[in-house]
Amino acid sequence: MSNRRDWLKQTGLGIVGLGIIPLEGFAIPSTESVIEEKSESLIQLRSNENPYGPSPLARKAFADNVAISNRYNWDIEAQIIAAIALKNNVREENILLGAGSTEILDLVAKFASLEKGDYVIPDPSYAYWTVTLDNLGLRKNQIPLTADKKINLQAMREAVNNDTKLVYICNPNNPTGTLCERTELVNFIANIPLTTLVFIDEAYLEFTTQQSLCNLIDTHPNLIITKTFSKIYGLAGARIGYAVANNKMIENLAGMQSNTNNSVSVLSKLAAIASLKDEKFIADCYALNKTAREYTIAELKKLNCECIASNTNFIYFSLANYSKDYFKLLENNNIEGTRIYEENGKWTRITIGTMKEMQQFIKAIQ
């Protein structure tokens, strides 16, 4: 069986044979069939991906455009930038594309580190990318969350000084799923000196109803916002994300990127354009995530696990009052979770998968 599968994969027939691309003229798969494909093996609840994606229109864009991959197709850069600018109600000159928002995070790190100083970041927060800041010589200043696991904006503001090159806010925050109120953030940004970059990571904002901060870029030249197609848009493996900022700031960041706007493949750009149009898919994912999240939180609470109210596609919860070996149970049931983020309180995070996956997760740890 496995030999046949390997052979099918090698010959390329596997894609069709495994049902990933339906035979009939690349018909668009339904969300249901996507769920079924995933259910057979590992349950991946680690990296906050969208279990239903890519969207049907994005799948079609990939399939329809394979043949143009032999060319650079520079013109497609303008199309995706125009589509993103329209979506965020900004101008084309305010957008920079990256191979995932991670590339933009790296560009920001490089730019912020041109002069020595420190950077301010909540703890815990999304911090993998700060290795670049550390290695380029900026001092890390981590600001603990409040007791209810929210970003402490006042303490963050107080930590910013003349030497601070960058302050990072992940909104909603990863791993806690908490959201800073928009008015509080607007006020926060207004009180940061122009010599400090204010970096707002909106990777998960589509899981909320809160408006982006993109409309502030004209009045705040030190503001950088990143967004990604990896989360609700379901294109994590396609690697496409972007920065939104004042045009001068975009020029500064572009100066750190050797092939400006073209680290992203043509297929990923076309899939992203299609995803932006697929409003039904995004609405479906939002609703499915909300239902599965509510179910999971209710079940975790029954297991004595304190849960932080989530505004995202993951849940931050405590294993302090959970008596079984949580990580062993995940392993035994072929489920990928994450790690302990805070030893004090034994806080961990679980990604929201499909409802079926979350039922399997709960069954595994009951």
Ligand X SMILES: Cc1ncc(COP(=O)(O)O)c(C=O)c1O
Q: What are the residues binding ligand X (CB under 6 A)?
A: 47-48, 100-102, 126, 170, 174, 201, 203, 228, 230, 236, 241
Q: Which two tokens stand for residue 270?
A: 């076309």
Which amino acid would we find at residue 198?
A: V
Shortest Cβ 240–ligand X spacing (Å): 8
How would DSSP label each residue in 76-113?
HHHHHHHHHHHHHTS-GGGEEEESSHHHHHHHHHHHHT
Pairing of strands 95-98, 43-44: unpaired
| Residue closer to ligand X, measured from CB, 289 or 299 | 289
Shortest Cβ 304–ligand X spacing (Å): 27
Rounded distance, CA 316 to CA 356, Å? 20
Nearest residue to ligand X, using CB?
A: 100
Neighbour tally for 224: CB within 10 Å: 28
| Residue closer to ligand X, measured from CB, 59 or 349 | 349
Q: Which two tokens stand for residue 160?
A: 């910013």
Which amino acid would we find at residue 291?
A: T
CA trace torsion 198, 201, 202, 203 (10° rounding): 170
Neighbour tally for 43: CB within 10 Å: 23
Shortest Cβ 207–ligand X spacing (Å): 12
Shortest Cβ 57–ligand X spacing (Å): 20
Which amino acid would we find at residue 301?
A: K
| Residue closer to ligand X, measured from CB, 230 or 257 | 230
Shortest Cβ 110–ligand X spacing (Å): 16
Shortest Cβ 236–ligand X spacing (Å): 5
| Residue closer to ligand X, measured from CB, 271 or 365 | 271
| Residue closer to ligand X, measured from CB, 214 or 365 | 214
| Residue closer to ligand X, measured from CB, 90 or 243 | 243
